[in-house]
Amino acid sequence: MPDVQMTKLSNGTRIITSTMPHVHSASIGLWAGVGGRYEPEELAGVSHFLEHMMFKGTKKRSSKRISQDIEGSGGYLNAFTQEESTCYYARVAYDKLWNAFDVLSDMYQNSLLKKEELDKERGVILEEIMMYRDQPHHLVMEMLSELLWDDHPLGNPIIGFPETIEDMKRKHMAAFRSETYRPTNTVVSIAGRVNHDKCVERAEKLLGAMKKEPAPNYIGVTTKTGQNRLKLHEKTVEQSHMAVGVRLFGRSDNRKYTLRVLNTILGENMSSRLFQVVREKHGLAYSIHSSCHLHQDSGALVISAGLDRHRHTKGMELIVKEIHRMKEKPVTASELKRAKDYVVGQLRLSVESTSNQMISMGDNIISHGRFIPREEIIKNVESVTADDVQRLARTIFRKTRTSLALIVPELDRGDERFYRKQLDTI
């Protein structure tokens, strides 16, 4: 396993490295512990908008030069925004690491946020919103989030709403950056052919002058956070698109290991129950999948499917039947072993990629304050029993926790009643 080390600078910035001496590359990410759930309603989408703007130039580099400085030696540069973090990252040849670190730290601290660039990028993001709304599989997930989290920031799309993007001013973005991009919630994650001490020394030089200030807070999820059950939407589509979600616990809950096994059995891959029943046996879907999304204090398990437009009710019946089966009978010994072997195998394969290792480390530090070694995860996964899986299924699959979003070309008179009845049986 790669050698992982972490050091905290005097201003609170954390540097985590994974030494992988057999590779010829390095992946580096600058992480800010802030994302969509930190945004006030009137600034929904500001984290993602700011991420775009960080590429638009600094005092030292134009937007074009930012790209050229990485891509000129064959490197790759990008960023992503999540609910609780934003990451700016590059993958380069190992001897170009310091150049990539300089570019990313310059963007992170010195982006100009010029008004003319902001106005141009506003149009880009508005088109991005329209693009996603034209994709029913994306739209149905947006609808489900609104149901699961009601008026909580987790229910808002990370990209924002057209009206909030239209109203966003430079002063709003600059203030948000000042209040959230702080060394105490900044993580530098580096994986590849690297030396930890030299990375810390370089980080001190590039980021050590950032003033130490407290990290931002977010609105927590409580039992009072609302959840709605059902949303049906007509749209000109060739398939019916369905998303079923249940609210879960947060990342610190040790049941997350059982959850990984349960999700693998239910719908993670081609061997899963949902795939085998809905697609292979009944031919109702090309895509049928389940996934888990855990945040600091809450989360969701989501089942998504693109179904035969005329047989979406049959698809729902099959999904509910598989949920009942998870609750009523322990999984078989062979199913349990296959699921655990799959999770363990995926973890071990991910170690070979510098990008995967960098993302895993950065995400761990932002979420848990420490790196969770894969062998620790594997040990916990291996200890999961069939009774654990059944117990968790009975806990999470309840009608009061479950929401459903559906996009169909045409709603029939009895559809709403049918789906409410199906939800009542969970």
What 3 state SS string does the chain have?
CCEEEEEECCCCCEEEEEECCCCCEEEEEEEECCCHHHCCHHHCCHHHHHHHHCCCCECCCCHHHHHHHHHCCCCEEEEEECCCCEEEEEEEEHHHHHHHHHHHHHHHHHECCCHHHHHHHHHHHHHHHHHHHCCHHHHHHHHHHHHHHCCCHHHCCCCCCHHHHHHCCHHHHHHHHHHHCCHHHEEEEEEECCCHHHHHHHHHHHHCCCCCCCCCCCCCCCCCCCCCCEEEEECCCCEEEEEEEEEECCCCCCCHHHHHHHHHHHHHCCCCHHHHHHHHHCCCEEEEEEEEEECCCCEEEEEEEEEECCCHHHHHHHHHHHHHHHHHCCCCHHHHHHHHHHHHHHHHHHCCCHHHHHHHHHHHHHHHCCCCCHHHHHHHHHCCCHHHHHHHHHHHCCHHHEEEEEEECCCCCCHHHHHHHHHHHC
Question: Is 51 annotated as catalytic?
Answer: yes
Catalytic residue, chosen from 39, 42, 51, 146, is: 51
Catalytic residues: 51
